[in-house]
Amino acid sequence: MTDQQAAFVFPGQGAQQVGMGRDLYETFPAARAVYDEADAVLGFPLSRLCFEGPKETLDATANTQPALLTTSIAILRAWNPPADPLFYAGHSLGEYTALVAAGSLAFADAVRLVRRRGELMAACPSGSMAAVLGLDDETLAQVCYEASEACAAPVVCANLNAPGQVVLAGEQVALETAARWAKERGARRVVPLAVTVAGHSPLMAAAATELAMLLEHTEIHPARVPVVSNVTARPVTQPAEIRQALVQHLTSPLRWVESVQYMRAQSVQQFVEVGPGDVLAGLIRRIDREAPVVSIGTVSAVQQGQ
């Protein structure tokens, strides 16, 4: 699977599901060691939450973030690919997983960081997110600007996921206004997301300030493999630029379309999604129908890839 020029990509919030990783934990010692380390670092049984739920507890952002990071790294270490890819990249929270894979962050440090990151995000001013389908980016950006002005509250294009699929984030009234106006201007569908945080928006400013202080006291190494940042859609490798990208990450749009396009332009011939589910595989196929994509997230997929 790595004989082609590949990029390994890792999912973010929304990919979690109760039961994720249990079969890997029971099958691969390398995966079991990852979950055991996360349990020890956090001081509570994160593994049990992943395997048994309850769903509403797993879906709390302070739990979801370390759970997904841990599950994706457990899958990666169980798979143990024979060679590095050209790039690593992660969707939102998945960027921390990519940095662990690239050797920039120690797994234990990353688990602590994303746990605290989730807590900081949950403590920010309340907001929400909604996916808008079937409207071009330029029109949607204008809708957000007008709704922000009209409501004197922020709403922005937060996740640029795929052509015709953009997630908005902001204060509730502004978000509802933007959603209504988007439908009036031709959006095929607007889907509210079951979240109480407005990720990748100005409402995360306080969390970004606190996270910056945490990152200053976290050891970050040069990336062994370039990690394509959500913020710039370009690779980062050095500790200073990685710290800056992770701080900006909370308040900046997630440029997933551009990230995939950049990697394709740099001779990536295959994308390998490493994590639970296949959300990113679907997005990548919408961005570039010619891009080969495989998902590795189950025991059988790991065994086939070895």
Quick: pLDDT tens for 156-214.
999 999 999 999 999 999 999 999 999 999 999 999 987 879 999 999 999 999 999 99
Other Cβ atoms closer than 10 A to 261: 15
253: phi then psi, degrees, rounded to nearest 5: -60, 145
d(CA 208, CA 3) in angstroms, rounded, equals 39
- Tell me if residue 254 falls in helix, strand or coil: strand
Taking alpha carbons only, the member of 276, 305, 193, 200 closest to residue 10 is 276
Fold of 128-195: Alpha-Beta Plaits (3.30.70)
pLDDT reported for residue 1? 44
d(CA 104, CA 264) in angstroms, rounded, equals 23
- Tell me if residue 197 falls in helix, strand or coil: coil
The token duo for 19 is: 């039961």
Domain segments of the chain: what residues? 6-123+203-305, 128-195
Q: How confident is the model at residue 306 (pLDDT cuts 50, 70, 90)?
A: low
Q: Active-site residues: which are they?
A: 92, 200
Contacts of residue 171, Cβ cutoff 8 Å, sequence gap at least 6: 125, 126, 127, 151, 153, 154, 155, 198, 203
Quick: pLDDT tens for 3-49.
469 999 999 998 999 999 999 999 999 999 999 999 999 999 999 99
pLDDT reported for residue 195? 82
Q: How confident is the model at residue 255 (pLDDT cuts 50, 70, 90)?
A: very high
Percent over 70 (pLDDT), the chain: 98
Rounded to the nearest integer, the mean pLDDT of the chain is: 96
In the sheet with 235-236, reading across from the earlier edge strand, the strands are 235-236, 227-228, 87-90, 6-10, 270-274, 293-296
Cα angle 214, 251, 182 (rounded to 5 degrees) comes to 155
Percent over 90 (pLDDT), the chain: 95
pLDDT reported for residue 2? 47
d(CA 272, CA 175) in angstroms, rounded, equals 34
Q: Does the pLDDT at position 242 exceed 90?
A: yes
Local structure of residue 13 (DSSP, 8 states): T
pLDDT reported for residue 196? 79
pLDDT reported for residue 3? 46
Quick: pLDDT tens for 102-122.
999 999 999 999 999 999 999
Is domain 6-123+203-305 given the CATH code 3.40.366.10 in the classification? yes
Q: How confident is the model at residue 229 (pLDDT cuts 50, 70, 90)?
A: very high
* pTM reported for the whole predicted model: 0.96
